[in-house]
């Protein structure tokens, strides 16, 4: 069985020195589904929702989450 570099012999999580490790390109893909009434979707698409531009808020939320990735996912490096 392959051992994880961030788990020591006792099974405890530990930091790993990656200062000499070459950078790599990584990509993640996420998918989600939203259920709503047809009238709500029509309002959003027409830009007439009372709470403003729903897509702009969603983009900002996604960017804010991505910037916090290292704080939300253990061992993730921004």
Residue 41 within a domain? no
The domain tally of the chain equals 1
Coil, helix or strand at residue 7: strand
The pLDDT value given to residue 30:
80
Q: What is the pLDDT of residues 40-62, one digit of tens each?
A: 999 999 988 888 888 888 889 88
Residue 27 within a domain? no
Residue 75 within a domain? yes
Residue 67 within a domain? yes
Note the pTM of the prediction, 2 decimals: 0.47
Distance (Å, whole) CA 20 – CA 17: 8
* Burial track 54-77 (b if 16+ CB lie within 10 A, e otherwise): eeeeeeeeeeeeeeeeeeeeeeee
Residue 72 within a domain? yes
Q: Domain limits at 63?
A: 52-78
Residue 42 within a domain? no
């Amino acid at each position: 069985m392959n051992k994880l570099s961030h788990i020591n012999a006792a099974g405890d999580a530990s930091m790993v020195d990656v200062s000499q490790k070459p950078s790599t390109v990584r990509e993640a893909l996420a998918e989600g589904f939203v259920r709503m009434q047809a009238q709500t979707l029509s309002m959003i698409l027409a830009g007439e929702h009372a709470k403003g531009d729903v897509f702009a808020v969603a983009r900002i939320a996604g960017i804010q989450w991505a910037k916090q990735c290292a704080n939300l996912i253990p061992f993730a490096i921004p």
